Amino acid sequence: MDLQEFITEADAIEHEAAAAFQGAADADTLEAARIAFLGDRHGRVKALQDALRGIAKEDKPAAGKRFNDVRTRLTELHASRQSAVRSRASDGACEDRSLPPRRQWRGAKHPVTLVIEEIEVIFRELGFTIAEGPEAETEWYNFGALNFPPNHPALDAHDTLYLEGEGLLRTHTSPVQVRTLQRVPPPIRVLIPGTVYRRDFFDASHAPAFAQIEGLCVDEGISFVDLKSTLNRFAERFFGAARTRFRPSYFPFTEPSAEMDVQCGICGGSGCAACKGTGWIEILGSGMVHPNVLAAAGVDPERYTGWAFGMGPARIAISRYGIPDIRILYDSDVRFLEQISE
């Protein structure tokens, strides 16, 4: 073998061995490659070393240097590959499949959203559709068309933020009654969820911005019987077999008006902290749509009658889930939210 042939063979061994070591994915394959190239007895590096003896004397230093380089590089390459293959194997050995998986917070529906959705399902079954309206309203829709006399004390409970120019933040979802009556002719059955605003302090039972759900049913021959039976049916579905009671009340846009209470589900009516000792939970305001409201919206009050209600899903969520303070609903603390949502 002359020097040229020796160098060519050294290059080939280096190249092939490097590829074999790098390509070995496990310890057995790597060991087979080690024996083929670096094996003491039949390895190709050993054969190259034997060939060194037949090289002409003057070429020996160059050939010897090349041989040493190849052997050193391949020994190092093998060692580093071996530790990589071993650590990969030991990763597997340490895997503990009995460890519980790390839990990920995926987000969940807010309790008020859960309540709204459940109410929507019940009223859809009763033939209601869902409608919405603007949160920035005109005084006419929020008050005038709803039969609030100017300077009437009922306005006190509806203090709100007035916007620049004309308009205000709506204090209830009732203006959407008027918008619906203007938009579609009776028969009408709509459910109107939305956010409303009041000048209330943020305390354990009040928030300055909160959700409401309005209901409106208008047709020929609708009476208080329809109001009572529909709302009783709703209470039965939503609260289970709870008893209800209707108390006379006042709203400018309904006549007669009534508040509906549901027997407290926590104490069963004997009185507890959740119902403030009364045995009843106030759920909603309701009444027969005032003829002036129908007329303001362009609906003939001699031909049509209707009933309406408005309720606060946050209040309902509080009594249903036994939440002591309404502000918790607005904190967005996931530790609280995940206790209620799955």
**Contact positions vs ligand PHE (CB under 6 A):** 172, 174, 214, 251, 254, 285-287, 308-310
Q: Edge-to-edge, what's the strand order for the sheet holding 244-251?
A: 129-130, 188-197, 209-219, 305-311, 280-289, 254-263, 244-251
Cα–Cα distances in angstroms (integers) from residue 197 to residues 116, 137, 201, 267, in the given order: 18, 11, 11, 32
Which residue's CB atom is positioned nearest to ligand PHE? 310
Q: Which is nearer to ligand PHE, 111 or 306 (CB)?
A: 306
Q: Which is nearer to ligand PHE, 239 or 251 (CB)?
A: 251
Q: Which is nearer to ligand PHE, 191 or 275 (CB)?
A: 191
Beta bridge partners of 218: 188, 306
- As a whole number of angstroms, the distance between CA 288 and CA 247 comes to 14
Q: Which is nearer to ligand PHE, 21 or 210 (CB)?
A: 210
Q: Which is nearer to ligand PHE, 78 or 172 (CB)?
A: 172
Minimum distance of ligand PHE from residue 338's CB (angstroms)? 31
Minimum distance of ligand PHE from residue 337's CB (angstroms)? 26
Minimum distance of ligand PHE from residue 270's CB (angstroms)? 29
Q: Give the HSE-up count for residue 3: Cα atoms under 13 Å, Cβ half-sphere.
A: 11
Cα–Cα distances in angstroms (integers) from residue 8 to residues 11, 19, 21, 48, 119, in the given order: 5, 17, 20, 11, 84
Q: Which is nearer to ligand PHE, 196 or 337 (CB)?
A: 196
Minimum distance of ligand PHE from residue 188's CB (angstroms)? 14
Q: Which is nearer to ligand PHE, 213 or 264 (CB)?
A: 213
Minimum distance of ligand PHE from residue 233's CB (angstroms)? 17
Only one residue has tokens 């208080």, namely 224
Cα–Cα distances in angstroms (integers) from residue 297 to residues 99, 140, 175, 176, 294, in the given order: 65, 11, 10, 11, 5
Minimum distance of ligand PHE from residue 257's CB (angstroms)? 6
Minimum distance of ligand PHE from residue 191's CB (angstroms)? 12
- Paired sense of beta strands 188-197 and 209-219, if any: antiparallel
Only one residue has tokens 């206790």, namely 339
Minimum distance of ligand PHE from residue 104's CB (angstroms)? 40
Minimum distance of ligand PHE from residue 140's CB (angstroms)? 16
Q: Which is nearer to ligand PHE, 174 or 230 (CB)?
A: 174
Q: Which is nearer to ligand PHE, 81 or 172 (CB)?
A: 172
